[in-house]
Amino acid sequence: MSGASLAAERLLRETEGLADEAFIAAVARSFPGRIAFASSLGPEDQVLTHLLMAQDPGIPIFTLDTGRLPEETYELIQETRSFFGKEIELVFPDSAEVEELVRERGPNLFYESVDNRKACCNARKVLPLKRKLAGYDAWITGLRRSQSVTRGGLARVEHDAANDKVKINPLVDWSREAVWSYLRAHALPYNKLHDRGFPSIGCAPCTRAVRPGEDERAGRWWWERADQRECGIHVQDGKVTRRRIEVENVRAPRQA
């Protein structure tokens, strides 16, 4: 068992039953200077930014700039920086890796096969994230279980085996309604595409508006099966959850 796996197990024990704000504060204390928030600028991420700024504004925030984001996302990055007075670092892919991939398979390779799409996500998202996380012991995400069928097994604290880091999902059991209620109550900035039927937003060519009755992530890589629609940064051995830490006899209800 690695040091990160042990740290995840310990953190789960220490934070079981804590309300969201207390949980985030405990997480920050556990990794001083060694934790970062990987924001995708979704509603959950904006809520988390607000919570993090209240508990520990020194935690670095970064987002992956794949080079193919919608213009509305870049507008939101600028607006978010101004709103919170906080730097949102843009992490870029290796240009040589992207150039080689496009040269060999074309600029819109992702429509041709799942393997091509995963290769594009790997170059533009997975590898840049791995390089960025090398300087940290833990990272925070805005993942929720109810976002899609691929995320139902997520836990609040996990061991990210692919990067050997502690992975923190503070809003894992929040509903979409709870996220938007919090966001509106605090007048937080959000992507304008959400008002046009885009509940989940990634790269421009791989995102569409959803239809009535579809799940939140149905507009991501919509030409693929629902159980394939992940970019790879939250996947290990074909599953979204990396390693869910189970702790026996620790099931106290969270305190309000």
pLDDT of residue 220: 85
- What letter represents residue 79's amino acid? E
Token pair belonging to 151: 């995320």
pLDDT of residue 37: 98
Burial of 206 (0-12, 13-18, 19+ CB in 10 A): buried
User: Each residue of 7-29: pLDDT tens digit?
Assistant: 999 999 999 999 999 999 999 99
**Is residue 225 pLDDT above 80, yes or no?**
no
User: Which residues are designated catalytic?
Assistant: 231
pLDDT of residue 148: 58
- CA-to-CA distance for 160 and 187, rounded, in angstroms? 33
| Predicted TM-score (pTM) of this structure | 0.86
- CA-to-CA distance for 183 and 194, rounded, in angstroms? 13
**Is residue 173 pLDDT above 80, yes or no?**
yes
Confidence class for position 254, pLDDT limits 50, 70, 90: very low
Backbone angles phi, psi at 10, to 5 degrees: -65, -45
- CA-to-CA distance for 182 and 193, rounded, in angstroms? 19
User: Each residue of 59-97: pLDDT tens digit?
Assistant: 999 999 999 999 999 999 999 999 999 999 999 999 999
**Is residue 235 pLDDT above 90, yes or no?**
no
Quote the mean pLDDT of the chain.
87
- CA-to-CA distance for 1 and 38, rounded, in angstroms? 25
The single-letter DSSP state of residue 124 is I
- CA-to-CA distance for 192 and 215, rounded, in angstroms? 19
Residue 144 or 88, more confident: 88
CB 40 within 8 A of CB 63: yes
**Is residue 194 pLDDT above 90, yes or no?**
yes
**Is residue 123 pLDDT above 90, yes or no?**
yes
Percent of the chain with pLDDT over 70: 84
Token pair belonging to 5: 């796996």
- When pLDDT is averaged across residues 134-163 and rounded to a whole number, the result is 85
User: Each residue of 42-53: pLDDT tens digit?
Assistant: 999 999 999 999
* Among 190, 192, 202, residue whose Cα is nearest residue 66: 202
- When pLDDT is averaged across residues 174-193 and rounded to a whole number, the result is 97
Residue 244 or 7, more confident: 7
- When pLDDT is averaged across residues 183-195 and rounded to a whole number, the result is 98
- Which superfamily does 3-228 belong to? HUPs (3.40.50.620)
Q: What residues does 236 pair with on adjacent strands?
A: 239
Q: HEC string of 197-249?
A: CCCCCCCHHHECCCCCCCCCCCCECCCCCHHHCCCCCCCECCECCCCECCCCC
CB 235 within 8 A of CB 146: no
Percent of the chain with pLDDT over 90: 74
**Is residue 231 pLDDT above 90, yes or no?**
no
Confidence class for position 217, pLDDT limits 50, 70, 90: confident
**Is residue 248 pLDDT above 80, yes or no?**
no
- When pLDDT is averaged across residues 200-206 and rounded to a whole number, the result is 93
pLDDT of residue 91: 98
Residue 23 or 225, more confident: 23
Radius of gyration of the chain measured on its C-alpha atoms: 18
